[in-house]
Amino acid sequence: MARAVGSLDPALGTGPHGGGLWTTRGPGAGLGSVRDVRREASVLHLDLDAFFAAVEQRDKPSLRGRPVVVGGTGGRGVVATASYEARIYGVRSAMSTREARSRCPHAAFLSGRFGAYREASRAVMGALREASPLVEPLSLDEAFVDLAASPDPTLADLSVESVTAFAERLRARVTEVTDGLTCSVGVATSKFMAKVASDLDKPDGLVVVAPGTERELLRPMSVTVIPGVGPATADRLRRAGVQTVADLEQVSQEELVRLVGSAHGIGLFHLARAHDDRPVVAERETKSVSVEGTYDSDLSDLRLMEHLLVRQSGEVAARLAKAGLSGRTVTIKVRLHDFTTTSRSATLPEPTDSPAVVARVVRSLLAELAAGVETGPALRAGVRLLGVGVSGLADWVQDDLFADLDGSDEAAGTTDEEAEDLPEPPRARSSGWAPGADVVHDEHGRGWVWGSGRGVVTVRFETRESPAGPVRSFPVDDPALHLWQQPEDEPTDDPGGPAAREGGLSAPG
Ligand code: DCP
Ligand code: MG
Ligand 1 within 6 A of CB of 81: yes
Q: Tell me: pLDDT of 87 over 80.
A: yes
Q: Average pLDDT, stretch 86-114?
A: 94
Q: Which of 56, 85, 136, 142 is catalytic?
A: 142
Minimum CA distance residue for ligand 1 atom 21: 50
Atom of ligand 1 lying closest to residue 82 CA: 23
The 10s digit of each residue's pLDDT in 271-298 is: 999 999 989 988 654 467 889 888 777 8
Q: H helices of 148-301, where? A: 160-177, 191-198, 214-218, 231-239, 245-249, 253-260, 262-271
CA distance 388 to 316: 7
Q: Which residues contact 49 (CB under 8 A, 6 or more apart)?
A: 84, 181, 182, 183, 184, 202, 203, 204
Query: What pLDDT, on the 0 to 100 scale, is given for residue 20?
Result: 24
* Each residue's pLDDT tens digit, 355-409: 999 999 999 999 999 998 888 898 998 998 999 999 863 333 222 223 333 333 2
Pairing state of beta strands 135-139 and 142-146? antiparallel
338 CB near ligand 1 (under 6 Å): yes
Beta-ladder partners of 21 = none
Identify whether 142 is a catalytic site residue.
yes
Ligand 1 atom with minimal separation from the 402 CA: 7
93 lines ligand 1 (CB under 6 A): yes
Q: Mind listing the pLDDT tens digit for each residue in 13-65?
A: 323 332 222 222 333 334 444 456 799 999 999 999 999 999 999 999 999 99
Task: Choose which residue among 56, 70, 81 to substitute to test ligand 1 binding: the one with the highest number of ligand atoms within 8 A of its C-beta.
Answer: 81
- Which element (helix H / strand E) includes 369? helix 355-371
Q: Which domains, from first to last, does the chain contain?
A: 45-189 (3.40.1170.60), 293-401 (3.30.1490.100), 438-502 (no CATH)
- Predicted local confidence at residue 10, as pLDDT: 30
Cα–Cα distance, 110 to 405 (Å, whole number): 11
Of 357, 380, 384, 358, whose CA–CA distance to 369 is shortest?
380
Question: Of the bound ligands, which one is closest to the alpha carbon of residue 15?
Answer: 1
Q: Is the CB of 42 under 6 A from ligand 1?
A: no
Flag whether pLDDT at 427 surpasses 80.
no
Could you tell me if the CB of 14 is within 6 A of ligand 1? no
Residue 140 CA, ligand 1 centroid: distance in Å: 9
Choose which residue among 48, 51, 111 to substitute to test ligand 1 binding: the one with the highest number of ligand atoms within 8 A of its C-beta.
Answer: 51
Average pLDDT, the chain: 81
* Percentage of residues of the chain with pLDDT beyond 70: 79
Neighbours of 420 (CB within 10 A): 6
> Is the pTM here over 0.85, yes or no?
no
Residue nearest atom 17 of ligand 1, based on CA coordinates? 19
pLDDT one-digit tens code per residue, 458-488: 999 999 999 999 999 999 999 999 999 876 5
Let me know: does 69 contact 79? Beta carbons within 8 Å.
yes
Q: Find out whether the beta carbon of 199 lies less than 6 Å from any atom of ligand 1.
A: no
User: Measured between alpha carbons, how far is 174 from 359 in angstroms, rounded to an integer?
Assistant: 41
Question: pLDDT for 326-350, tens place per residue?
Answer: 788 899 999 988 878 888 988 887 7
